[in-house]
Structure 1
Amino acid sequence: MADLAVLYDRIRPDEKMLFEALDDLGVPYDKVYVPQLQLTFDAAGKARVPWKVAIERCVGQTRGHAVTRALEGFGVKVINPAHVIELCGDKLATNAALYAAGLPTPRTGVAFDGEAALTLIDDLGYPLVLKPTVGSWGRMVSRLNDRDAAEAVIEHKEVLGGPAHGIFYVQGLICKPDRDIRVFVIGGECIGAIYRTSGHWITNTARGATASNCPVTPEIADLAQRSAAAVHGQIVAIDLVEDPDASNDWGGLKVIEINHTMEFKNSVSTTGVNIPRRMGEYAISVLG
């Protein structure tokens, strides 16, 4: 058994690249398939896991958070820790942390009832984006251009039911230049960034956006590093948007969300930065 573990529930190109990077670094590590992992808590307080550090790479957020919580109980240092998953895995929690840190986001509101949500949306003004607080890859994100669209989407969410559909999280739609910016931060350092460009208003590579290199300006680096610090993120990707109508200390940049189990397969060749190797080097530093 090794001191380092990589936790996963699916081997994507990202995980293969991470395994190759760790092999190249020559660090012993265990590949841990979380769906088959069993953990026993000893009443005597004796840990029954061999690892000192683990990199959490689960696609399933609930599973990743649960295994992180469990391993932290045994004294394992997990990258990212459970409290980071809690903040980054919930867009409302992320936005609250960014707001508390004084960092710029699109105008944002939240309501907990359909009628209250309609009133909030009318007050904020159209166009708006209604998002699930938990989710990724641009799924179930709705653009609301007018009251008719708002009423239709909110009615669907109320009929679908479930606690998650009862949280109405909205943000102002930014008239961005057909792109957003994903910035990679490891150990508090901004190591690179990409543009994600698309003719669709959702600029996500999972939805067909094209990745290209984004020069890291001082404003991009500073805002990304401050955002990572706001959620205590160790290895995170920060999604920024350029707001041509905004004026702030970061040239109009605003933070959209923070990803705690970031994907990077399209970004290594684009940025010229060996992102998985940097992840491995950071894990080694935590081991040390």
Structure 2
Amino acid sequence: MRVAILTDETGWHTRELLRALREHGCTGRCVDLAHCRMDTTHAWHGLVLPGFGQALPDAAIVRGIAGGSFEQVTRRLGVLHALRECGVPVYNDARAIERSVDKSMTSVLLHAAGVPTPPTWTMESPAAAQQLVHRESAAGHSLVLKPLFGSQGAGLQRVGWVDGAHVPLPALDGAYGQVAHLQRFLPPLTHPGHDFRVLVIGGHAFAAMRRVSEHWVHNVAQGARCEPQALADGPGPELARLAEAATRALDLDYAGVDLLPTREGAQVIEVNGVAAWQGLQRVTRASIAQALVRDLLERKCAGRERRLQA
């Protein structure tokens, strides 16, 4: 099998995936979606993926999609949509990525599925957003302002009632794109604080870790320390159940689910459909890349073969 690893950068993650594919008898090739194109004169499917000639890959793993203009991102997602429509198993496919990359859609789907998640508001009106911040601040609540499409903890700010003072909403230009995406802040239960990352593969929680940080942002990219978290005991079973429910709600093949502990139980903060796992691998014995490739081949690709035979 020839598998396309769709990524805008190569490095540790792509090396791990290429090695896992080789160990399963597959050939992997890294392809940047920005370099793919539509060409209806090229082949019956109308797609051109560098390195695949007139053929399509047997499967595709989405490892990264570069940012860009609205038109550029739409076209890159269009390639993923087209691959799926042409019968190529895409892991995760464009529909799933669209649901998870848009934090507002993630929050709505989690809420509708009954998955515990903090109160969340998304709006374009600066006046309405500022009014919300004042109302929450008056009730003693702090809010986290997040870029709608941000990742790795970049661009997060606390507004509302913060450390005994009111912090107003800042200008919504730059990373926020004139959109206020606000989520109620959940204060840490311990010092230093921590959250949990659970990796779900093929519908089942595969591994978890605690991300410990002196700062209220717990992403590894922002300096958090990774510690192992068992799924069989302690808070593990609850974390696994909630992470699996969140992944189902967004219909993802695999996902990195972020959860915060509260006195009432854990709550899902975000669901990542193009999740990094280097920090998690450092505290996990089993190979995550192997598990991802095995799930792709045994579940996703096997399902395609069964459909073709039928």
For normalisation by structure 1, the TM-score amounts to 0.88
Asked if 1:200 corresponds to 2:200, the answer is no
Counterpart of 1:16 in structure 2 is 15
Q: Does structure 1 residue 168 correspond to structure 2 residue 180?
A: yes
1:242 maps to amino acid: P
Q: Which residue does 1:235 correspond to in 2? A: 254
Of 106, 111, 133, which aligns to 1:99? 111
Q: Deviations over 1:228-264 (max 9, x none)?
A: 00000101110011012xx2xxxx1000111111111
Task: Measure the CA separation in 2 of the matches of 1:52 and 1:120.
Answer: 49
- Give the Cα–Cα distance (whole angstroms) in 2 for the partners of residues 33 and 115 of structure 1: 40
Letter in 2 for 1:128: L
Moved over 6 A (4+): none
Gaps of 5+ in 1: none
Residue pair 2:34, 2:66 contacting (<8 A) in 1 also: no
Report the equivalent of 2:308: none
Distance 1:18 1:29 in 2: 8
For the pair 1:278 / 2:291, whether they are aligned, the reply is yes
Q: Partner letter of residue 287 of structure 1? A: C
In the comparison of the two structures, how many residue pairs are matched?
A: 275
In 1: Cα distance, 2:262 partner to 2:118 partner: 9
The yes-or-no answer on 1:30 pairing with 2:29 is yes
CA distance in 1 between partners of 2:19 and 2:76 (Å): 22
Equivalent in the alignment of 2:151: 136
Distance 1:66 1:194 in 2: 34
Say what the alpha-carbon RMSD is for the aligned residues: 2.2
Q: For residues 1-288 of structure 1, what are the structure 2 equivalents within 5 Å?
A: 2-41=1-40, 45-46=44-45, 48-60=54-66, 62=73, 65-125=77-137, 126-146=141-161, 148-151=166-169, 153=170, 156-157=171-172, 160=173, 165-176=177-188, 177=190, 178-216=193-231, 217-244=236-263, 247=264, 252-285=265-298, 286-288=300-302
- Measure the CA separation in 2 of the matches of 1:262 and 1:75: 24
Deviation at 1:111, TM superposition (A): 2.8
Question: 1:112, 1:56 → 2: CA distance?
Answer: 30
2-structure distance, mates of 1:71, 1:23: 22
> Matches of 2:270 and 2:144 in 1, distance apart?
14
Q: 1:51 to 1:96 in 2, by over 3 A?
A: same
TM-score after normalising by structure 2? 0.82
DSSP 3-state at the match of 1:196:
strand
Q: Answer yes or no: is the 8 Å Cα contact 1:56–1:64 preserved in 2.
A: no
Whether the aligned pair in 2 keeps the contact of 1:58 and 1:64 (CA below 8 Å) is no
Higher deviation after alignment, 71-80 or 180-189: 71-80
Which one scores higher on RCO, CA 8 angstroms, separation ≥ 6?
1
Provide the C-alpha distance between the structure 1 equivalents of 2:89 and 2:293, rounded to a whole number of angstroms: 14
- The question of whether the paired residues in 1 share the 8 Å contact of 2:18 and 2:29 is answered with no
Tell me, what secondary structure is at the counterpart of 1:105? coil
Structure 1 residue identity aligned to 2:34: P
- Structure 1 CA distance for aligned equivalents of residues 42 and 12 of structure 2: 40
Do the aligned residues in 1 keep the contact of 2:2 with 2:26 (CA within 8 Å)? no
Instruction: Report the Cα offset of residue 78 of structure 1.
Output: 0.8
Query: Would the alpha carbon gap of residues 187 and 127 (structure 1) be closer, same or farther in structure 2, given more than 3 Å must change?
Result: same
Does the 8 Å CA contact 2:200/2:255 hold for their aligned counterparts? Answer: yes
How far the C-alpha of 1:42 sits from its partner, in A, is: 5.0
